[in-house]
């Protein structure tokens, strides 16, 4: 299993790096849409959709929404004079509300969850609220200040990846060593409060480095740290959210596409929450 995980990471990491750094914006938008489409197929399974044609249909719906957004807003019109396109902004705002709703769902699961756990359509709709804003957020960040520095947006993406991955690593080691208090045992028995705290502490190093790298104004550094910590906290919410939907569907992994890792959603679950929330905060207070 470990060997498979390492080999898969060795193959995927350079591809992801190259896509973020070197793809032209239009190509980048389609590549991210492809990743979202793979996630959509797995989300259909997590929603309780068992028929392959219906899974494919759900994938087409999510892909079509991303396609319409590509057609509706040209790459050079996503940001105009430092302002994010209003359609993209409203989608990020909806995502922020959705993750607040998701938190309530996790806190009340499974006692007060029958209204949505028994409804495949609602569970599938939650997938649209999860996946489409992820695409919007990543594209919005990648195109930020593109006309000034074509790699600035890439650095924002790497920043989010860095703090989320640091949090995952910190949460794992602290949770294994010191984890005694379960975070949400009905959703994900392996997660602990100590692990979450360890993850936040580990991410602070990346947040502090980024503050120095971007030469954040001392009067605004507190905002930089708050947004970073909120992003890390929400990334844990994304992980719990996927675990909750997998538990509803009675499955361990979202898919089998990535040897040793499970499915695409198993790898991006934290990011589906972190990217939209960070992008929303970035547009409001940091852009």
Q: Which pLDDT belongs to residue 3?
A: 61
Per-residue pLDDT of 164-190, as tens digits, reads: 999 988 988 898 888 888 888 888 888
- Does the pLDDT value for residue 191 go beyond 90? no
Query: What is the pLDDT, as a whole number, of residue 278?
Result: 98
- Please tell me which residue, 90 or 7, carries the higher pLDDT value: 90
pLDDT range class, residue 216, cuts 50, 70, 90: confident
CA distance between the termini of the chain: 42
What are the residue boundaries of the structural domains of the chain, listed by start? 2-286
Write down the residue that tokens 């599938």 correspond to: 124
Which of the four pLDDT bands, split at 50, 70 and 90, describes residue 2? very low
Q: Does 203 score more than 80 pLDDT? A: yes
pLDDT above 70 coverage of the chain, percent: 95
CA distance 42 to 255: 6
Residue 170 in contact with residue 203, Cβ under 8 Å? yes
pLDDT, average across residues 275-282? 98
Tell which residue, 31, 54, 36, 59, has the closest CA to residue 132.
36
Q: Which of 228, 218, 236 is nearest to 282 (CA)?
A: 228
Q: Give the pLDDT confidence score for residue 219 in this predicted structure.
A: 83
Read off the pLDDT of each residue in 4-29 and give the average, rounded to a whole number: 84
* DSSP classification of residue 181: S
Spatial CA neighbour of 73 closest among 60, 57, 62, 84:
84
Summarised one tens digit per residue, pLDDT across range 112-126 is 898 999 999 999 999
Residue 209's pLDDT is: 86
- pLDDT at 22 exceeding the cut of 80: yes
The pLDDT score that the predictor gives to residue 146 is 95
Higher pLDDT, 16 or 102: 102
């Amino acid at each position: 299993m470990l060997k498979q995980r390492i080999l898969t990471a060795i193959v995927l990491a350079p591809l992801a790096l190259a896509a973020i750094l070197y793809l032209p914006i239009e190509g980048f938008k389609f590549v991210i849409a492809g990743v979202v489409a793979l996630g959509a197929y797995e989300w259909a399974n997590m929603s309780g959709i068992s028929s392959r044609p219906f899974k494919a249909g759900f994938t087409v719906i999510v892909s079509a929404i991303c396609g319409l957004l590509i057609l509706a807003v040209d790459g050079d019109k996503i940001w105009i004079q430092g302002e994010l396109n209003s359609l993209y902004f409203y989608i990020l705002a909806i995502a922020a509300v959705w993750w607040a709703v998701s938190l309530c769902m996790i806190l009340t699961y499974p006692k007060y969850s029958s209204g949505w756990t028994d409804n495949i359509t609602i569970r599938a709709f939650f997938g649209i609220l999860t996946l489409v804003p992820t695409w919007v957020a990543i594209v919005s960040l990648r195109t930020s200040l593109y006309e000034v520095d074509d790699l600035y947006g890439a650095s924002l993406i790497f920043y989010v990846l860095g703090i989320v991955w640091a949090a995952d690593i910190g949460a794992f080691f602290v949770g294994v060593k010191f984890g005694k208090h379960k975070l949400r045992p009905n959703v994900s028995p392996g997660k602990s409060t100590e692990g979450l705290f360890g993850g936040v502490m580990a991410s602070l190093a990346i947040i502090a480095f980024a503050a120095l790298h971007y030469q954040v104004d001392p009067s605004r550094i507190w905002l930089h740290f708050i947004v970073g910590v909120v992003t890390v906290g929400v990334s844990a919410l994304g992980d719990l959210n996927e675990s909750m939907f997998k538990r509803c569907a009675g499955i361990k992994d979202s898919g089998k596409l990535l040897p040793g890792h499970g499915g695409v959603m198993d790898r991006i679950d934290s990011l589906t929450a972190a990217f939209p929330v960070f992008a929303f905060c970035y547009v409001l207070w940091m852009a």
